[in-house]
Structures are given as structure tokens and as C-alpha cells.
Amino acid sequence: MQEIEKDRETLAGANLVDYGAERESFTWTAARALLDGLPAGGLNIAYEAVDRHVAHGRGDVVALRFLGDEGPGRELTYAELADETNRFANVLTGLGVAPGALMFGLSGRRPELYIAMLGALKARCGVSPLFSAFGPEPVRQRMERGHGQVLITTAAAYRQKVAPIRDELPDLHHVLLIGEGADAIDAPGVQPLAPLMESASGEFVIAPTDPEDTAFVHFTSGTTGMPKGAVHVHEAVVAHHVTGRLVLDLHPGDVYWCTADPGWVTGTSYGLVAPLTCGVTCIVDEAEFDAVRWYRILEEQRVTVWYTAPTALRMLMKAGPAAHAGRDLSGVRHVCSVGEPLNPEVVTWGDEELGLAIHDTWWQTETGAIMVANYAALPIRPGSMGRPVPGIDVRLVRHDDAGERVLEEDGSPVLVEEAGEEGELAIRAPWPSMMRAYLGAPERYAACFAGSEAASGKPLWYLSGDLARIDADGYVWFVGRGDDVIKSAGHLIGPFEVESVLMEHPAVAEAGVIGVPDPMVGEQVKAFVELKTGFEPSDGLRRELVALARRRLGSAVAPRQIDFLPHLPLTQSGKIMRRVLKARELGLPEGDLSTLGSTP
């Protein structure tokens, strides 16, 4: 078995050195005791992330350092962040926004967005950050389902994505604008944030917060239906903090850079919450990916811990050695990756060309925090996602030949016993950052679990939908997704959402959307379209459909390719057989669909 070994120096100071001993002694109660809890009672993420450090005399440490897209950035110490987030909490309270309301965010990675997210948590409001490359349709679906009362966004995003759908969002009472032209929009409830912040008080006492109160709602896509809002609570901070220590190996004094956008769960759980609870300095780059810029940031900012994604690493690999020539990356102590399969070649490249060991980690929007990981002081098996985090019990559920879960009569899942046998990755419920609901969709939530301690005395398992193997030493190997959801550049895309928009076009009778393998971004979105009688395929029509999709869905979700087919394969009940489309696209026999993972 090929392994990447670590040198003694790395071993010495790491937070997790003896995996077996750590698993053995770990308890969530002890993990909770690493945090303070609110002086007034309960547990609030923003207090643990910000105010706690000020209370312990660490207010002068830089919490967030924003690197401007073009101009200079902005730096906030923990003390300044406490003041600013208090102001935002007072702004919300002053507007009459009650605890329990949901605030959406829709902007690039700007300081005001980060301040607003933490400030809203202080006011005990929920926070749902949206990806800024979403078009009006994904924004509408999410805000409608979440009954968002507050939106923090820019004037440009408001005009382009929110104004056209404002009528469909009756619950949206307050739109707070940040950035350029924030005072230029005259619409009900829309106002610039800056003057409100200026006149707000920097004092705010967080009221006792029930650890089970909603903190974040992260939308994620499934195979069918519209996006699901995974509800996460303040208690999740216990898992964020522990994984920040044990997986990201964060120590006081670290400079940490998470390259994910807060519009996705990684960008909040690990771009904001986990590192701040560990008291480190977080780098936030406001610009988009650029290989030369990224290497410069690693060197100039003296980044010690870096959390990024396979697509970005593959793009760095493609940029070649010229992009990092002359750069000293020796300050980078620990590198982790998440979101999609990390090819072994990338791990080898990182080790050999950059001198950086890349540690794969696995988790999902629903799990809220890292569940499986490679650890700083332990050998890496390239291609493996690593081993379960202490406190987390990971097993595999057997699937039958038709790809269906095998369940006992009492509903509990049949677990794989043999090392190396494939099954569906399942996690024993509960754990602190486990989602508590899908907003307004209790039946979809219930379908994520099998077994019942109450009914059978057997454990309850969360079913991830991912297929994996576990080797004899407990390392987990990703096999593929068990469903039709598409992973492109680390982002989940629901085929149904794309199909629904294509069906809006008067020429379209049926649409089927799949992910086709792509060496750089993992999968590209491809659509197959059957036209109504009287319409003929043409390049003009194809361009029209692409334009429609981009306008409605945004660049992050729209298909890159559209093919016309005389007939789409349908089941007897009229559902698109996406797996048949995929098998045909890949030139596989249509019966042999079991191994269609998203591995590039």
C-alpha cells in the first residue's frame, strides 16, 4: 500500500497523533467543554467564534483578513469583529426583526457579509448564504422556501436577481445593501446598510440561546424536486470546533485560508465558524481563482493551514510550475481538500512538486462538519478519504443488485461486514452538527434515516447516498454517488432544477440532465432535449436554450452542452431515465450502471 509518510517535525505538534487513543477517549461532552457557552446560558455560535476570544484577552488577534479583488482589503481583529457584529445585531433588532427570522445573504466574499452572518446569529436569527453566481430562479426557490425576511446583498445583485422576483417573496421585508451604489435603489424596504451600522451601538448582549435553535440553513440539491434547506443549529459549533482542531490541526497563531465561498457549506462551517472558534487568523480572498495569485497569497500571507478543493488543485496543477516559480511555500504546514474525489495523481503532484501533503476529507451539507479525514500527523493513503473523525461512527449499508438498500424487517439497515465490500456510507445518528430538518419537507428528511433505537433497540443511521468501501485498516474509499445529482467544480447541482427551466421554453417537450465526466471540474452539466412536434433542432434553438438557462439559473448551474434527441428514454410512469442517458453518453451497456460514480 502506497502511503505518504510525514516527517517527525509535523508529528510533534499536531493535535491528533494517536488515532486509536483519540477515538477511544473521545466524548462529545468533553468536546462541548472546550467551549465556554454563553454567560447568560445556552450556546451561541457567534459568541464562541468571536466574543469568547475577546473575553479571554485575545481581542487584538486578527480574526479576518480580506484581500480585495483589486484595491486593498480590510482587516478585523476579534475585538473589532465583536463590535461590528454587535452593531449588526442591533440593526436587525432595531428593524424589528425577531429571533427565529431567516436572513439570506447574496454577495461576493465581502467583510459586510461575514459581519452580517455573525451578527444575525447574535440576534438569534437564522442565516442562509446563497452563492453569488446563482441566477434569479435558484435565488427565488431558496428564499421562497425559507420565507426569508431579511436579505443582505449588493445593488447590482438586487437589480439583476431579486427585483425581478420580488413580488413572489411576500415575506421579504428588509433588503440591506452593501457595496457600491447602495443608496441608489428606491424600492420598499430597501436601504443601504452602512448608515444603519454607523448609528447602531457596538454593545449587544446575546440572549440565552437554545443550542437547538436554528443557526444556518444550507440549501442543497437532490435528484428530484426543488432544493432542500438543511437546517443546522447552534449546537453544531461543537463539531466545527473539534474538527477545526483535530482535522484542520488549527493552533493559536495559525494563518488559515479556506478557499470556499460562504454560499456553500464549506465556506461557512470552515471559512468562518470552525477557524474563528479556534482563534486563528482567516484569510478571505474576494477575487476569483487565479493560479499565480493563489500561490502569491500562500507565500505573502504566510498561510500555515489551507483548506481547498480538487477542482482548484487540478487547475493549479494545469497552470504548471511557472505559476509558483520562486515562491516559498515552506510556511504551509497542513493542506486539506474536500467536495469531490481527490485523484491520487493530484496528491502525488502536491507531494512531489509543491512539497505539500494534501489531506482529503469527506462530509456533506447534511452532516454539517467533517466526518471522514486524513490527519496531519498520520500517513496518507492517496485516493482514500481517510478515517472517521473521533466521535463519529461510519459504516456501510449493503445495497442489492438493483442498487436498493437492504433493510431488515424492522427497518434497520443491513451493514457490510467484509472489509473492501462496497456499500452506502452511513453515519450513526446523532452528532452535534447533524442537520435537524429539511425546511418544510419532513418526509424527505425522514427518508435520510433508517432504523430506530426506539422501535428496535438498534441504532439510527443517517444514509449519505454515497457509495464507498472501507479497507481492513478503516480507511474509507469513495466509489461514487448513488443518485443522479451532479458535482461540478465541487458544487452540487440537481438535474431536476435544470430540466424545469429548460421545460419553460415553448419548443421543449422533455428535458433530461446529467453530469458528464470532465478532467478539470469533475463533471459538466449536459442537457438532452426532446422537441415538441412542429419544432426542428437547430443551432439557433440550441443557443436560445443555453441563453435561457444561463439567464434563469446563472453560470454556476446552467448546462454547458445541449443535445437534441428525437425521444428521451422514459420509465413507464413517464420519468426521465437519466442513467440511460449517462450510459449512452459514456458508451456503456445500459444495464451496467452500477459503477457510474462521479470519479473523474
Chain position whose Cβ is nearest to ligand WT7: 365
From CA 123, how far away is CA 85, in angstroms rounded?
Answer: 10
DSSP tag of 98: P
d(C-alpha 341, C-alpha 600), whole Å? 8
Given a contact cutoff of 8 angstroms between Cβ atoms, the answer to whether 77 and 192 are in contact is: no
DSSP label at 510? E
Q: Considering only residues 196-225, where is the footprint of ligand WT7 by CB under 6 A?
A: 220
Give the range of 47-55, 176-184, 263-271, 587-595 binding ligand WT7 by CB under 6 A.
Answer: 263-271
Smaller CB separation from ligand WT7, 149 or 220: 220
Which residue number, 37 or 480, has a Cβ lying nearer to ligand WT7? Answer: 480
* 294/478 with CB nearer ligand WT7: 478
Q: Which of 133, 168, 152 is nearest to 88 (CA)?
A: 152
d(CA 114, CA 120): 10
* 77 lies in the binding site for ligand WT7 (CB under 6 A): no
Nearer to ligand WT7, 73 or 517 (CB): 517
Cβ(31)–Cβ(23) below 8 Å: no
**363 belongs to the binding site for ligand WT7 (CB under 6 A):** yes
The number of residues that bind ligand WT7 (CB under 6 A) is 22
Taking each helix axis from N to C end, the angle separating 539-553 and 495-503, rounded to the nearest 10 degrees, works out to 120
Q: Check binding of 478 to ligand WT7 (CB under 6 A).
A: yes
Under rule CB under 6 A, residue 255 binds ligand WT7: no
Instruction: Please select the residue that binds ligand WT7; options are 78, 134, 158, 362, rule is CB under 6 A.
Output: 362
Q: Does 365 contact ligand WT7 by CB under 6 A?
A: yes
Q: Is 375 in the site for ligand WT7 (CB under 6 A)?
A: no
Among 124, 334, 481, 578, interactor with ligand WT7 by CB under 6 A: 481
Q: If binding is defined by CB under 6 A, does position 396 make contact with ligand WT7?
A: no
Q: How far apart are CA 245 and CA 235, in angstroms?
A: 17
Pick the closer one to ligand WT7 by CB: 85 or 361.
361
Closest CA to 381 of 450, 315, 471: 471
Q: Sheet harboring 334-337: ordered strands across?
A: 74-77, 62-67, 281-285, 255-258, 305-308, 334-337, 358-362, 372-373, 387-388
Minimum CB separation of residue 362 from ligand WT7 in Å reads 4
Q: How far apart are CA 106 and CA 128, in angstroms?
A: 9
The correct pick among 315, 385, 396, 558 for binding ligand WT7 (CB under 6 A) is 385
Using rule CB under 6 A, residue 91 touches ligand WT7: no
- For the CB of residue 260, give the shortest distance to ligand WT7 in the complex, in Å: 7
Structure letter (DSSP) for residue 410: T
d(CA 568, CA 145): 31
What minimum distance in Å lies between the beta carbon of 448 and ligand WT7?
A: 12
* Of 148 and 494, CB closest to ligand WT7: 494
Q: Is 460 in the site for ligand WT7 (CB under 6 A)?
A: no
Considering only residues 301 to 360 of the shown chain, the ones binding ligand WT7 according to CB under 6 A are 338-342, 360
Q: Does 134 bind ligand WT7 (CB under 6 A)?
A: no
Q: Which three cell numbers stand for residue 404?
A: 436498493
C-alpha to C-alpha distance for 460 and 452, rounded to whole angstroms: 5
- Alpha-carbon gap, residue 63 to 81, rounded angstroms: 7
C-alpha cell at 181: 451604489
Q: From the CB of residue 414, how many other CB atoms can be counted at a distance below 10 Å?
A: 16
Per CB under 6 A, 364 contacts ligand WT7: yes
> Minimal distance in Å, beta carbon 386 to ligand WT7?
8
C-alpha closest to that of 361 among 262, 448, 265, 263? 265
Residues that bind ligand WT7 (CB under 6 A): 220, 264-266, 338-342, 360-365, 385, 464, 466, 478, 481, 487, 492
